Amino acid sequence: MTFHHRHLCLLTTLFTVGCFLIVTADAGYCGLQDNYYQTSCPSAEAVINAVAVANFTSDAFALRFASGLLRMSFHDCHVDGCDASVLLDGPGSEKTAEINHFLTGYEIIDKAKEELEAICPGVVSCADIIAYAARDAIVALNGTRFEVQGGRKDGRVSIASRAESQLPNGDMGVDELTANFALKGLSRDQMVVLSGAHTSAAGHCPGLVKRLYDFRGTGQTDPSMPQAFADQLKFQCPKATFNESVFITMDTFTPFFDTGYYRSLQNHEGVFTSDQSLYDDERTQPLVNTLTDNNLFQAKFGEAMRAMGSIGVNLDGEIRKDCRKVNTVPY
């Protein structure tokens, strides 16, 4: 990517007004565009949606994979940009990183890619498939639809240690989270808004045992947790014998894409430190309170996803034939 592109991305994410102007002029962030496949593969978005929805509705349990795809879009974009590096197989690739251990949805992307290659070979990038599928996941969870820009190209490099060093973790507080997002050109407010993705999310016991049993090396439970909430999480995640497959819902109200996450934080029932600190820190608490308005949350979330979807976009890469492998011959 040229310096000019990077500069434009940062400018547009920092100044919403500038971004709005550029988006309405149809240039989009970083050279991305709405309706990007309109002429090259008109059914692309519909095909991806059909594959995703077929998976989500295959059984009651499968709505789980909707939030998996949403997390995948974050884990793709936040590590060396939105370039589908998270999908590459191989020793030491991003998907082998501990932080990606519970990431799901790879097969949904494979299926969409297979169908797209059958109708418009070599046209739709894996990075764009992730971005569209994440939007469709939000809609399936009853969130509000937003336009997703297309035009990303796929990268050829995927390194586990880069996922570990670039992604934020659940033990972080507001300062660390803000600094982490700033490195990607995203503001503290956008960090708070994007954390709303946890409204239909599930965590797992391995990431929680420290907060429950050895908070900051004290051998104790995080004292800021309400007793009943801590007891319930300890019941779900017994100290030495927890079950890795147990889901801990991060919104204590509903499994839908709504404001329940922020209301959980107001009740001091944020599952990870990174969640609860958004309410406990006086700098971000006002925005948490504001985001309990569902219309506002949905609108802000869509805008923030468009910004996230433009991180480090690669306009000069390739269109992978198989999302799990780099092309061996130029496509």
Could you give the residue numbers annotated as active site? 75
Residue 256, amino acid: F
From the list 24, 31, 26, the residue with the least C-alpha distance to 8 is 31
**Does the annotation place 199 within a ligand binding site?**
yes
Give the integer Cα–Cα distance in Å for 47 and 15. 34
* CB-CB contact of 78 with 166 (8 Å): yes
Residue 272 touches ligand HEM, criterion: CB under 6 A: yes
**Does the annotation place 178 within a ligand binding site?**
no
DSSP 8-state symbol, 203: E
Cα distances (Å, whole numbers) of residue 288 to 58, 69, 267: 34, 24, 12
> In the complex, what is the shortest distance from the CB of residue 195 to ligand HEM, in angstroms, rounded to a whole number?
5
Residues in the chain: 331
Quick one: what does residue 102 bind among ligand HEM, ligand NAG, none, with the CB cut-off 5 to 8 Å set by partner type? ligand HEM
**Does the annotation place 83 within a ligand binding site?**
yes
DSSP 8-state symbol, 295: H
CA angle 86-14-103, nearest 5°? 20
**Does the annotation place 251 within a ligand binding site?**
yes
Residue 102 touches ligand NAG, criterion: CB under 6 A: no
Residue 211 touches ligand HEM, criterion: CB under 6 A: no
Q: Which of 161, 220, 243, 267 binds ligand NAG (CB under 6 A)?
A: 243
Smaller CB separation from ligand HEM, 13 or 116: 13
DSSP 8-state symbol, 241: T
Beta-carbon contacts of residue 6 (< 8 Å; ≥ 6 apart): 312
- Please give the residues from 258 up to 277 whose contact with ligand NAG meets the rule CB under 6 A: 258
Give the integer Cα–Cα distance in Å for 274 and 277. 5
Query: For the purposes of burial, counting CB atoms within 10 Å of the CB of 55, is it exposed (0-12), middle (13-18) or buried (19 or more)?
Result: buried
Smaller CB separation from ligand HEM, 204 or 210: 204
Quick one: what does residue 256 bind among ligand NAG, ligand HEM, none, with the CB cut-off 5 to 8 Å set by partner type? ligand NAG
Q: Which of 11, 14, 139, 172 binds ligand HEM (CB under 6 A)?
A: 172
Smaller CB separation from ligand NAG, 167 or 299: 299
Site string for ligand NAG, 27-66 (x = CB under 6 A): ----------------------------x--x---x--x-
**Does the annotation place 222 within a ligand binding site?**
no
Which residue ranges make up the site for ligand NAG (CB under 6 A)?
55, 58, 62, 65, 104-108, 142, 243, 245-246, 256, 258, 294
